[in-house]
Amino acid sequence: MFKNNLKIALRSLLKQRVYSFINLLGLAVGVASCLLILLFVQNEFSYDKFFQDHERIYRMVLERKYPGHSTFYTVVPHSFEGIMKRDFPEVDESVTIFNLDNLTFSYKNERDELIQFDESTVLASDTNFLRVFSFPLLKGNRATALNLTNEILLTESTAKRYFGEDEPMGKMLTFANQEYKVVGILADVPPNSHFMFNMIMSSSSFPFFKNENFTTFSAYAYFKLKPGTDYLATEAKIPETVNTYAAAEIEKNLGKSWADYTREGNGYRYFFQPLTSIHLDTVNLERQMKPAGNKTTVYILISVAVLILIIACINFMNLSTARSAERAKEVGVRKVMGSFKQQLINQFLTESFVLSALGVGLAVGIIYFILPFFNMLTDKNLALALTPATILGLLALIVFVGLLAGSYPSMVLSSFNPVVVLKGKFTGSARGKWIRNGLVIFQFWISIILMISTLVIQQQMKFMSEKSLGFDRDQVLVVERGLNLTPQAGKNVVGRTETLATGVRSGRIVSDSRKGE
């Protein structure tokens, strides 16, 4: 029966080539638009899920309460990590990570030429980094890397940038008059990660990081909890740790009691962020490694994708029911010859599934053609890989679209009265016309809303890009590391570098003395 329905469906579609082409193209464009948006959404929700045990990893963040307002930070005092690893039995592994920027590394090549690179994405940590995060280590010993002073890990692309095709292991890089030995090569950081770095230095190389600190916001702290641990229950124990360690340091530094300090409106609220929620967390956190996504925008895009798919399906329904007069005699003759209503429904649903399959197939072709331009627009590296899961998803989409778009036309066409139709008196029911008109109105309503929204966003973006900033941008230059241009400025740079080596880093370590911020 299915084979016969399929033959009839293909003959019907080939007989009405113009109708089939218009219906197919409209469905394909709608499905392609929907799939492109879903690819973007899938990428946004995939951040950091490639890590092993990602569901057990949490980042410790901070709400710093000041008199009258609060500020949220991703960086916390670095000594809390060691204290919590020691005192919290729920913690399986933990790591402290420091973010360093604007560093200059150099090395001498085989021709004794001094090669220098400015690096803006450098981390400092220890071997715990590789125990918590399963970044692939292409070369080196995972158990001992970064354990010793003056060791450094490079990403694969960074190693090639420095050494080309030469073996990077064991090479020496110079920073702040100190040599760092390359002890490992990491795979490049995937784009769908909140991490961003080119190299990782051993944190033991910096004296400041060894000092006890419970009030200066200096580091990222990550914890891998033991299986089955309720992270909220673990989080509830943090205030006691803060009262024990931070209170004593504040009382010592400010000369006032912890009770008076909190009574003035000051305070600290440390809490955990699940690793996979960091990218789309709704809390506005300062000191992110890289710009976070926006969960509201993602949900809006999901809604837009659904609306576009609905428009495509409604267009399919309207075109199908518009041919009802042409198909009426066919239905009448087939009923007279003994066809049941269910057989006719199956026939028209088969036609719907065939069009749906062709439309989804054409949509995939459109996506492969448009995807490079879409990646340029979104600044991402999206790809539609035809994996078993993807193919299963496309088959489910074919069934969904086929049922959604074909159910109403099949019910309408199969319900014609053969006596009325064969007498040539078929005019269609008032109820059917009302439904079709309602679908058209709903389709235009959605389209108008989407077009107006697009125009509003376009105008807003134009306003943001063209708004006067109070100066002529064409006459302003930005010089990276411009302090290196003069001998006097060079002394400043060396001074800043030496300060950095001791751990006092301007713009990254946030002192708690900033009461008004």
pLDDT at 297: 87
pTM of structure: 0.78
344 or 296: which carries more pLDDT confidence?
Answer: 296
Neighbour-count burial of 347, counting CB atoms closer than 10 A to its CB (0-12 exposed, 13-18 middle, 19+ buried): buried
Span 415-439, average pLDDT: 59
Span 198-210, average pLDDT: 88
Neighbour-count burial of 104, counting CB atoms closer than 10 A to its CB (0-12 exposed, 13-18 middle, 19+ buried): middle
Which region, left, alpha or beta, applies to residue 481 given φ > 0 means left and ψ of -120 to 50 means alpha?
left
In this prediction, residue 431 has a pLDDT band, given cuts at 50, 70 and 90, of low
What is the helix (H) or strand (E) element at residue 24, kind and residue range? Answer: helix 17-45
pLDDT of 505 higher than 50: no
Span 438-446, average pLDDT: 76
The length of the chain in residues reads 517
Asked whether 142 and 130 are in contact (CB, 8 A), the reply is: yes
Measured in whole angstroms, the distance separating CA 401 from the mean position of its chain's CA atoms is: 27
pLDDT at 503: 39
The most distant pair of C-alpha atoms in the chain lies apart, rounded to whole Å, by 101
In this prediction, residue 516 has a pLDDT band, given cuts at 50, 70 and 90, of very low
Q: What does the alpha-carbon distance between residue 185 and residue 141 come to, in Å, rounded to a whole number?
A: 10
Q: What does the alpha-carbon distance between residue 19 and residue 14 come to, in Å, rounded to a whole number?
A: 9
For the stretch 51-93, pLDDT in tens is 999 999 999 999 998 888 889 999 999 999 999 999 999 999 9
pLDDT at 316: 78
In this prediction, residue 408 has a pLDDT band, given cuts at 50, 70 and 90, of low
pLDDT at 497: 36
In this prediction, residue 341 has a pLDDT band, given cuts at 50, 70 and 90, of low
What is the helix (H) or strand (E) element at residue 171, kind and residue range? Answer: none
pLDDT at 435: 66
Which region, left, alpha or beta, applies to residue 432 given φ > 0 means left and ψ of -120 to 50 means alpha?
alpha
Span 381-397, average pLDDT: 87
Q: Among the ranges 26-30, 137-141, 410-414, which has the highest mean pLDDT value?
A: 137-141
482 or 474: which carries more pLDDT confidence?
Answer: 474
Asked whether 123 and 200 are in contact (CB, 8 A), the reply is: yes
For the stretch 224-281, pLDDT in tens is 999 999 999 999 999 998 888 888 888 887 888 888 888 888 888 999 999 999 998 8
**How crowded is the C-beta side of 140, counted as CA atoms within 13 Å?**
29
pLDDT at 185: 95
Give 431-436's long-range contacts (Cβ < 8 A, gap of 24+): 432/321, 432/324, 435/408, 436/318, 436/321
pLDDT at 197: 93
pLDDT mean across residues, the chain: 81
**How crowded is the C-beta side of 457, counted as CA atoms within 13 Å?**
8
Tell me the angle at which helices 295-322 and 430-466 cross, rounded to the nearest 10 degrees: 140
DSSP secondary-structure letter at 104? E
For the stretch 97-126, pLDDT in tens is 999 888 889 888 878 888 888 888 899 999
In the structure encoding, which two tokens stand for residue 23, read together?
Answer: 């219906």
Bridge partners, 269 (sequence order): 63
pLDDT at 335: 61
Measured in whole angstroms, the distance separating CA 272 from the mean position of its chain's CA atoms is: 19
In the block, tokens 């679209």 appear at 401
In this prediction, residue 389 has a pLDDT band, given cuts at 50, 70 and 90, of confident
For the stretch 141-198, pLDDT in tens is 999 999 999 999 999 999 999 998 889 999 999 998 889 999 999 999 999 999 999 9
Domain ranges of the chain: 2-47+293-465, 54-277
Measured in whole angstroms, the distance separating CA 501 from the mean position of its chain's CA atoms is: 34
Q: Among the ranges 363-367, 400-404, 472-476, which has the highest mean pLDDT value?
A: 363-367
pLDDT at 153: 95
Neighbour-count burial of 408, counting CB atoms closer than 10 A to its CB (0-12 exposed, 13-18 middle, 19+ buried): buried
In the block, tokens 């002073």 appear at 149
Residue among 76, 128, 84 at smallest CA distance from 285 = 76
pLDDT at 514: 42
Q: What does the alpha-carbon distance between residue 80 and residue 221 come to, in Å, rounded to a whole number?
A: 8
